[in-house]
Structure 1
């Protein structure tokens, strides 16, 4: 078992390294963004300059010409700011949106290529939250936060330069704000990153718990376990809520430090300005302009600090998304060699525990061994919790045993462990059909051809015919009929028939059926069992039997209890032995 219960989280440096080539490809738009932003920020200084000039020259006898000149200058600056804002938003849209879209595409592509065993170990909630929730967070940041951040940064830079140009001594006073802002950021940054990462991780756990509850709703209702699951969902939601409140309190403290810096420096600026005017070193208009320029910094600096929670949250989401890409790229490459001859599926001394550590006492499987020869069908029966589905996942290569070996052994040759085979090679030999199947939005042709996208219509029809295609003839457009969300609704039996047709089309050496006929209900049980029997013709199989009528047709039966195989043999032999299987058969047939 992997020691990691979540997927990799990249470092900030690694995340921005991943972004760098995407941004370099849009260097022209970035130059236009900076030019527009500088023009916008520069035009914003015209207002304070005009007011300072009026303060100095109107008492000295200047006329209405000055007022008109200042008004026109402010109006022109307003037009420049409007154009700068529009051009900047236009340029930023051509930078941010394509970058986010390309990053999202890379994450989804990497997620699809992740090793199935890794996903089994971490659970689907973590991956779903990264592909969906974290992707949404970054998209929102690119659309809403990034424009304000870029604009605020440029305003701060240009305004600071303008303050120094008005009077270098007032500029020095204004510099006192820098260490105060720096102390705020120094206090804020090292504390914020772990808080936001913890918050995003809590959101991922909440998503996983919600997803598990929704997908397992039928099971919960069957066992009347809704209350317990709701308690667990509420606990995960409460954890996410409490962390969000903690983040808000933390951000409020940062705002308080920021406001303190603004109040102190503006007071010092006014006191210094008064002294310089009193000594005749500067004018009241210059001090007024300097105070207005510094006051103009309040909003952008406040925005930068205020948006840091969203920036940090988006940054945490970015590291989680890039972590998916990195994990897909750095995962150990599996062997691409094939198994010679007609291989046997060998499961030898399998031990499995969901608890981490080799000394765990909570074993789901305990020393299970079985060898399935080419073309042999082995059924597995037992009570709920006996370890049947876990054995099926290991046999399909979806989970690695804690101890023991699961391998394809050819003749001749030593064979290859399932965990070491490349996914594509593994699926050439082993395919799995589970109880829950998914019908994708698209045509019936696309759904059946999922394992072999280039399959011809003749091959697809042949696969459907093998497992029973009477219902296909009733579809309005045959193979071109849209099914899935928004398409023609199919019954559980029809959806499971599609899964079995995929198996026939893939044509592996072995099939793993994990209660693949359970969704049929009593009415469709015999139909689907006949379809499953036809799909297994000529290939080996491990069948977790939902009904003992499936086990009866198998070449060999394993009876499991508490993670162990307690009986093994053909149906007739086990019935005659009058053991556990005989009692199950008596109850079933009776």
Structure 2
């Protein structure tokens, strides 16, 4: 089993540029948040400074009433600090959640408009891992990590300033630890960044292995491939586990280096303070305050150092999300062209997939306004490819498709969806009330319009038997529909969308023999009056069409009305004879 291609991943520089632009877009909120956070950090330092003053007062023999004033100052600072800390956390979360919401919306918008060919190449696992796991990592970072990091940075910065204000020599003594922290980070970051990036990729591969096995569960069981697929899942999971263990091992060694810096820094402050007090350069209270300030830095510095674990993970996730956003959008905006009628014209259509092997060789085909044309042929003849290109689902290698004289590029994405719709063999029923599923095709439609569409495709008979009728919850977690019922909903959506051109790509294939006739009747009713291109799974559909086009190896072999082709005794006659004798 080959590993699928992955979606692009943005560089660190590009990820930072995206994040910076989002923060600049909210400059006012960001500056207000920074100011509130600074006040919160400053309030937390006041008790330490006041405690140093108290030590000096006690040493000088000040009265016990001095303690009362100290307690009042500490209490006031604590109350103000608590208020501003709560405000700071709220403001940081607000800023972060806005940024995350914008990021999530952009990723989903781009993901929903990715070319079908791209999704087929990369598989669904990588994309789902990004919009699921990576967004969850970013949400955790914004809700928990970033507020702590901002608070820690401000507290460290203000603490260093406070130590220097007590005595510049005490400040320099405390700053001895900085090179050790820097060295620890320089050792850790180059080693951890590739590991975190590899971990996110491994998680995507694990998701792809799980999803592909679950979606193909019936096929896996039918061919006895359970052990093979379990081995693939185990391999992908084992890879993610091993990388996770390597990350934890590296992080543990990083923690030891950070603890060493803390020990050295506090020792230097105490030793320097002892000598400075002896020479009467500083007071005992000043050294006490400096030592406490540095000791207070253990938590924020540790938070900063250890947060790099989460920051690296969030950075890897951000790069994967920005990578999706940056995928070029090849959709044409259109020129505002309006088709003169429903004629579908395909000219010199050629197409090759990634292998470079051409599977369509100069197809010329016209479906007149209101005409139904059926495509028949053996598997691999190119029927579904023609249907997908005609519907604008994939772009052809060369050739043009026109609707009423306007090319698909001239119609643009919105114009295309107004004038042509495709119903394929694979139909998704969205979770929620049945009527809301149908309104996706025509949001402004009334209940009467929806019921009329259901009646057109013969679905009201079973919809009325549901507990809440059109308001019955269907899809995942709701009433389970049969394959034929799901196809009827798809055809009802087609009726509501009311395009001039309809493309049915084996839209009745899932009905089974029992429901095939009803579903074919539903398809005929839904497409009545429309130009219709049908990929015929059953030759009864071809027999009912105005014209039949026979494909073989990417070329048109013959075409004409059903009766004429049968009488001609060619390839279609052979297929029809085989169909009748089955």
Please tell me the TM-score bracket, short chain as reference.
0.7 to 0.9
Q: Assess, with a 3 A threshold, how the Cα gap between structure 1 residues 210 and 171 changes in structure 2: closer, same or farther.
A: same
Cα pair 1:434 1:514 within 8 Å, conserved: yes
1:364–1:387 CA contact under 8 A, matched in 2: no
The CA distance in 2 between the partners of 1:303 and 1:584, in whole Å, is: 74
1:285-339 per-residue CA deviation (whole Å, 9 max, x = no partner) reads 4333322221221211111121122123223333443454454779664554344
Equivalent position SS for 1:307 = helix
Structure 2 residue 581 is the aligned partner of structure 1 residue 586 = no
Does 2:362 align with 1:380? no
Indicate whether 1:425 and 2:415 are aligned.
Answer: yes
Q: After superposition, where does 1:440-519 map in structure 2 within 5 Å?
A: 440-468=430-458, 469-519=460-510
SS at match of 1:433: strand
1:386–1:564 Cα contact (<8 Å) kept: yes
Residues 238 and 476 of structure 1: CA distance in aligned 2, closer, same or farther (over 3 Å): same
1:434 matched to 2:434: no
Distance in 1, matches of 2:6 and 2:31, equals: 42
By how many angstroms is 1:91 displaced? Answer: 3.4
Can you give the 5+ residue segments of structure 2 that lack an aligned partner in the other structure? none
- After TM superposition, the structure 1 stretch with the greater mean CA deviation from structure 2, 253-262 or 69-78, is 69-78
Equivalent pairs counted in the alignment come to 571
- Tell me by how many angstroms 1:162 deviates: 1.8
Give the structure-2-normalised TM-score. 0.84
CA distance change for structure 1 residues 38 and 474 in 2, over 3 Å: closer, same or farther? same
Find the counterpart in structure 1 of residue 41 from structure 2. 38
Alignment of 1:118-137 (within 5 A): 119=119, 122-137=122-137
Which whole-Å CA distance do the structure 2 matches of 1:174 and 1:159 have between them?
10
The TM-score, its normalising length taken from structure 1, stands at 0.83
CA change 1:528–1:108 in 2 (3 A) is same
Matched ranges for 1:350-369 at <5 A: 350-355=350-355, 360=356, 363=357, 365-367=359-361, 369=363
C-alpha contact 2:464 2:470 (8 A) present in aligned 1: no
Aligned to 1:558: 550
Cα shift at 1:492: 2.4
1:131 aligned counterpart, secondary structure: helix
SS in 2 for 1:451: coil
The Cα shift of 1:349 comes to: 4.6
Q: Tell me, yes or no, if the aligned pair for 1:22 and 1:99 is still in contact at 8 Å.
A: no
Q: Is the 8 A contact 1:381 1:544 kept in 2?
A: no
CA contact (8 A) 2:188 2:254 kept: yes
Query: In the alignment, is the contact (CA less than 8 A) between 1:511 and 1:542 conserved in 2?
Result: yes
Cα displacement (A) at 1:499: 0.3
> In the alignment, which of 374, 395, 401 is matched to residue 407 of structure 1?
401
Correspondence for 1:6 = 7
C-alpha displacement of 1:503: 1.5
* Deviation by residue 1:240-295 (Cα, 9 ceiling, x = unmatched): 33333333334334334333332333333333233323434334443333222212
Change (3 A) 1:531 1:99: same
Equivalences for residues 178-257 of structure 1 within 5 A = 178-189=178-189, 192-257=192-257
Q: Is the 8 A contact 2:93 2:147 kept in 1?
A: no
> Do the aligned partners of residues 344 and 514 (structure 1) sit closer, same or farther apart at CA in structure 2, a change above 3 Å counting?
closer
CA distance 1:429–1:453, shift in 2 (3 Å)? same
Match of 1:532 among 509, 513, 523: 523
